Structure 1
Amino acid sequence: MPDIVETFSTRGDLAHVAMLLWALAASSLAWFALRELTAAIRRFDEFVRELARFNDIFKDRSGDR
């Protein structure tokens, strides 16, 4: 491991490794956030469908219409 660090530090490629690690971390965070957002949208859609179904069931029982 010290040989790898020495090779990168002498050639000046340590910054490239740091940028690669940053890019991988940022990409994985974006992927995780997108996955969670998709799941939240799916749950909200299920909620709205269930609410519409509930309203359809009890629409005629309220006596308003």
Structure 2
Amino acid sequence: MAEALQIFATKGDLAHVALFLWASAASGLLVWSLREQAASNKRFQDFVEEIARLTSLLE
């Protein structure tokens, strides 16, 4: 790992490594947030279905 960083540092490609790490982190956060949004939508849908079921029982 240190050799790879040394090669990038000597060639001046350290900015590319930093950009890659930033893009990877941003992509990971996007995937995580989309999964959380999907889970939130599922929980809300379950809540709405329960309210509809309760309403139909009380009518």
> TM-score scaled to structure 2, two decimals?
0.92
Identify the residue that residue 48 of structure 1 maps to in structure 2. 48
Runs of 4+ deviating beyond 3 Å: none
Higher helix share: 2
Q: Partners of 1:2 and 1:55 in 2: how far apart?
A: 64
The Cα offsets for residues 34-55 of structure 1, whole Å up to 9 and x where unpaired, read as 0000000000001001100100
Unpaired runs of 5+ in structure 2? Answer: none
The two structures, once aligned, show a CA RMSD in angstroms of 1.0
Q: Partners of 1:10 and 1:17 in 2: how far apart?
A: 13
Identify the residue that residue 4 of structure 1 maps to in structure 2. 4
Between structure 1 and structure 2, the one with the greater Rg is: 1
Q: How does 1:1-65 map to 2 (within 5 A)?
A: 1-59=1-59
Unpaired runs of 5+ in structure 1? Answer: 60-65
| Matched pairs, number | 59
More contact order relative to length (CA 8 Å, sep ≥ 6): 2
The share of aligned pairs that are identical, in percent, is 47
